[in-house]
Chains A and B, each alone.
Chain A
Amino acid sequence: MTAAAVTNVRAERRAAPKPARIPSGDRPAYSTGERRTATEEPAWVRWLLIALALGFMTLFLFVPLATVFVEALKKGWGVYLAAITDDDALSAIKLTLIATLISVPLNVVFGVAAAWAITKFDFRGKNLLLTLIDLPFSVSPVIAGLIYVLVFGLQGWFGEWLRDHDLKVIFAVPGIVLATIFVTFPFVARELIPLMQAQGIEQEEAARVLGANGWQMFRRVTLPNIQWALLYGVILCNARAMGEFGAVSVVSGHIRGQTNTMPLHIEIAYNEYQFAAAFAVASLLAGLALVTLGAKYIVEQRVHRDKREALTQGEPS
């Protein structure tokens, strides 16, 4: 990102009209520093900064990412395919997808409702709600998992009641889904609130006055205005839901083939020295992350445009 930004600035400079040629007789040709503008750094500083940024990115991002794929395919496609079609691996993939498919839609509903309440109404405790939405960001995921163990676990508050009714939450799929929902719930709301605040409520009021009912107003006016921000929130939420390790690890119980998600499966395989298997599943997750990143980039452009439009709305053009 940093490197790209620096490169862009340089590209713009190159495109700018060149200063008039200095006659070689008057000025020595080597003093290129003379042509610098007041805010421009000398060439060696620019190159040093770019090199530093690129070096860091290579060391901490590109190399590890490449390693995942190299390691995964080290022993050939046969081993790779065997590793990801293994029963335990498939079950982990399935569980991750289930947890994601349940938690993301729920968080969409929650996020839209929370953002709506916070931006369109005034009520007591609004700031408290805003702070609470951020709670999962500030609490360690391990603690998030622990909370559910303490509430729903055998020794927990509802443990006995759940056992009597033959319901299993902890060390089972419901616990994993709950933990995933907890760690991902700020994403959609956090993305929508600033945009909806910038957009205000005038369009909704206009729709109301024109006779729209609540659903028509939401469906025809609000939703089209927030759709890109919503999608952006969903993408972030989705990425986190699939990759969540800490909270899920506490409530899962690591029962192979039953309560292992992809990140947990990778950890177990790695601890058992099955590097090919670990990296194969890891490459799947990394691939999903790259797809998410691509989608995020595209959607981000649209969100920025919406926000700009909301902010410049009403100004005569």
Chain B
Amino acid sequence: MSIEIRNLNKRFGATVACDHIDLDIPSGELVALLGPSGCGKTTLLRIIAGLEVADSGSVLFHGEDTTHTHVRERNVGFVFQHYALFGHMTIFENVAFGLRVRPKSTRPDNAAIRRKVMQLLELVQLDWVADRYPHQLSGGQRQRIALARALAVEPQVLLLDEPFGALDAKVRKELRRWLRRLHDEVHVTSVFVTHDQEEAMEVADRIVVLNKGHIEQQGRPDDVYDRPATPFVLQFLGDVNLFHGRLGHSPGGATAHEDVTYVRPHELEVLGEPIALDGAQGEAPVWPVTFSQALTVGPRTRLEFKRDDGSYVDVELPRARWQGLREQLGLDAGQRAWLRPRQVTRFVAGGQVAVPDDPAAAI
């Protein structure tokens, strides 16, 4: 079941939650709505579910206008950040709820309900907790039950509002992979909201980056990461170093002083002497810096360099590479070094996008 959103607007007082949003979600995909808090992603999800009413615009399920369909009749599955399980019901009754409240004519009999519920509990690998109560379960288990409950009504679309937001880091990672596998099994069109770019990259088929109520960019995780459409997307999807001003010559010879060059920390190479790229002429983008400190967290090392203008540049590399580099260059605090980017991203002032992938081309 595909979802189409047409020119959707929603305001809360002075805050714009959805600003002329157009979005197509193809059938069977798992899509992430990604953005900082307050960007309108949860509002958009709640409008799709019918829990919130848009000021204008429409929502279509499989080409059919559902803008004015009541939340009860939309047949969506919704998973809340804080699970929203019914505390006074057993896990079994929680999952069975959506079937039990159906009108008599479409309500399955008890045996059918039992079969369906047990089947779903097996799907989320929790069939052994059927007789327990929500408060006896861990956070991760509760969220899996919430998912089983949402799937019990055989929804056309599955909507998840920060589904792993209330869980601790380790459980969150496990559940992410589990959700991905589950989606490959059930194949229901799914939309989930997250502010965690790593989560979005890992789980989703497609990412929709939202900022201040409008869509900044959408596409496959790799596309969005490698070819960010706006500085916002670039900065939101991971750390980045900013270099203000001109970087060598622009291809046409034109220069703009407001230009900003972005380089991700892992795209920088540390050199002991200022060597330009092979075959490059003229002003090569090699920045003289002073080594400040190294921080090692697990397998990655983050190096901090100070530029001559006082700003700091971060470089990230694998721990083993750093150890080799330290021996090779004898890097110590206060020592001179040079940084060469492997890939830079530039946005010409005025919002026009220019993405020279190869730094040599910019020279």
The contact string, 1 if C-beta is below 8 Å from chain B, for chain A 284-317, is: 0000000000000000000000000100011111
- In the complex, what residues of B have CB within 8 A of residue A313's CB? 82-83, 87
Instruction: Say which residue of A216, A225, A316 sits within 8 Å of B87 (CB atoms).
Output: A225
Q: Most chain-B Cβ atoms within 10 A of its Cβ — which of A206, A207, A220?
A: A206
Q: Does B84 contact A (CB under 8 A)?
A: yes
- In the complex, what residues of A have CB within 8 A of residue B71's CB? 208-209
Which secondary structure dominates chain A's binding surface?
helix
Q: Most chain-A Cβ atoms within 10 A of its Cβ — which of B49, B97, B137, B171?
A: B97
Asked if A207 and B83 make an inter-chain contact with CB atoms under 8 angstroms apart, the answer reads no
Cα distance A225–B139 when bound, in Å? 20
Instruction: Say which residue of B50, B86, B137, B139 sits within 8 Å of A203 (CB atoms).
Output: B86
* Segment touching A, from B73-81, B189-197, B215-223, B246-254: B73-81
Q: Does A212 contact B (CB under 8 A)?
A: yes
Q: Which residues from 172 to 201 on chain B have a C-beta closer than 8 Å to any C-beta of chain A?
A: none
The contact string, 1 if C-beta is below 8 Å from chain A, for chain B 61-81, is: 000000000011111111011
Q: Does B328 contact A (CB under 8 A)?
A: no
- In the complex, what residues of B have CB within 8 A of residue A213's CB? 72, 101
Cα distance A213–B102 when bound, in Å? 9
* Chain A interface (Cβ < 8 Å from any Cβ of B): 202-203, 205-213, 216, 220-221, 224-225, 309, 313-317
- Residue of chain A at shortest CB distance from B165: A314
Asked if A205 and B80 make an inter-chain contact with CB atoms under 8 angstroms apart, the answer reads yes
> Known interface pairs A205-B51, A225-B88, A313-B87. Does A210 touch B166 (Cβ–Cβ under 8 Å)?
no
- In the complex, what residues of B have CB within 8 A of residue A317's CB? 135, 137-139
Q: Does B363 contact A (CB under 8 A)?
A: no
- Residue of chain A at shortest CB distance from B97: A210
Closest chain B CB from A200 CB (angstroms): 8
Instruction: Say which residue of A205, A212, A220 sits within 8 Å of B84 (CB atoms).
Output: A205
- Residue of chain A at shortest CB distance from B137: A317
- Residue of chain B at shortest CB distance from A312: B135
New contact pairs (9) apart from A208-B51, A225-B87, CB-CB < 8 Å:
A206-B86, A209-B50, A209-B78, A210-B153, A211-B73, A213-B72, A213-B101, A313-B82, A316-B138
Asked if B86 and A309 make an inter-chain contact with CB atoms under 8 angstroms apart, the answer reads no
Asked if A316 and B76 make an inter-chain contact with CB atoms under 8 angstroms apart, the answer reads no
Cα distance A1–B166 when bound, in Å? 39
Q: Which residues from 85 to 115 on chain B have a C-beta closer than 8 Å to any C-beta of chain A?
A: 85-89, 97-98, 101-102
Cα distance A224–B85 when bound, in Å? 13
The 8 nearest A-B residue pairs measured at CB = A314-B82, A316-B139, A210-B98, A202-B84, A206-B84, A212-B101, A224-B88, A209-B78
Closest chain B CB from A210 CB (angstroms): 4
Cα distance A315–B140 when bound, in Å? 11
> Could you list 27 A-B pairs, sorted by A, with CB under 8 Å?
A202-B80, A205-B78, A205-B80, A206-B80, A208-B72, A209-B71, A209-B72, A209-B74, A209-B77, A209-B78, A210-B98, A210-B153, A211-B153, A212-B97, A213-B72, A213-B101, A224-B86, A309-B87, A314-B82, A314-B166, A316-B138, A316-B139, A316-B168, A316-B171, A317-B135, A317-B137, A317-B138
Interface residue tally of chain B, by bracket? 35 or more
- In the complex, what residues of A have CB within 8 A of residue B76's CB? 209
Q: Does B167 contact A (CB under 8 A)?
A: yes
Asked if A211 and B102 make an inter-chain contact with CB atoms under 8 angstroms apart, the answer reads yes
* Chain B interface (Cβ < 8 Å from any Cβ of A): 49-51, 71-78, 80-89, 97-98, 101-102, 135, 137-140, 149-150, 152-153, 166-168, 171
Cα distance A317–B83 when bound, in Å? 13
Closest chain B CB from A145 CB (angstroms): 41
Closest chain A CB from B138 CB (angstroms): 6
Asked if B77 and A207 make an inter-chain contact with CB atoms under 8 angstroms apart, the answer reads no
> Known interface pairs A202-B82, A202-B84, A206-B78. Does A315 touch B97 (Cβ–Cβ under 8 Å)?
no
Asked if A221 and B153 make an inter-chain contact with CB atoms under 8 angstroms apart, the answer reads no
Asked if A211 and B98 make an inter-chain contact with CB atoms under 8 angstroms apart, the answer reads yes
> Known interface pairs A313-B82, A314-B82, A316-B138. Does A212 touch B87 (Cβ–Cβ under 8 Å)?
no
Cα distance A270–B7 when bound, in Å? 78
Closest chain A CB from B253 CB (angstroms): 58
Asked if A207 and B139 make an inter-chain contact with CB atoms under 8 angstroms apart, the answer reads no
Asked if A207 and B97 make an inter-chain contact with CB atoms under 8 angstroms apart, the answer reads yes
- In the complex, what residues of B have CB within 8 A of residue A221's CB? 86
